[in-house]
Amino acid sequence: MTQTRSDRRPAPERMKFFATGLLILVTAGYLLSRLFESRHPALSVCAAFCEAAMVGAMADWFAVVALFKHPMGVPIPHTAIIPRSKNRIADNLGTFISRNFLGADAILARIRAFDPAARFATWLGNRVAQPLDLAFWTEAALLSEAGIDAVVFGPGFIEQAHAADEYVDEAQLETAFQAFLTVFRGCLPAVSPGQGELTP
């Protein structure tokens, strides 16, 4: 299958060619309808339709072109809006983003809505525990026998636990600390400012 030259045109060029063709078509329809309207009165409907299509097409073209440049190179007032006001638009956009998306209140509200502590707890609760053949033991087994859910979690590698050269990376300590802090913040009640009592 071979492509013609029109098929190889970029999408914007094809759309521009198509829109221009439609404008020429409705303009020709308007002129022909007006020319033969005296013989066929029903053509007045076609003329009105073509006229409305022409006005709409010209208005849309002018509105879009006026945003980026002067139509046909004529410096008409209130045209080329974006090039003349790009700095002001950028400043306003930056202010809007920082105020509505990057402010402390907005970020805290999104964190509360996301509820990372509850999601982390749900993730832990949905994980299926896999039995491991290890040479050490934790109190989690006693808690499980008593019907209490237990999670063994902490920094380090299982393969090195209780070994002679056991060690823990500082990065893992920080990761574990942040995980515990997230869980505690989600589970503990909040303390009201200026009060010694815990409030739910």
* pLDDT of 84: 80
Do residues 33 and 46 touch, judged by C-beta distance below 8 A?
yes
Q: Give the start-to-end residue ranges of the domains of the chain.
A: 1-76, 80-114, 115-199
pLDDT of residue 200: 42
Q: Determine the pLDDT at residue 133.
A: 59
Stretches where the chain sits below pLDDT 70 are 1-10, 127-137, 188-200
- Which pLDDT does position 151 carry in this prediction? 75
| pTM attached to this predicted model | 0.37
CATH number of 115-199: 1.10.150
What is the predicted pLDDT for the residue at 191?
47
Predicted local confidence at residue 189, as pLDDT: 59
* pLDDT given for residue 195 in this prediction: 47
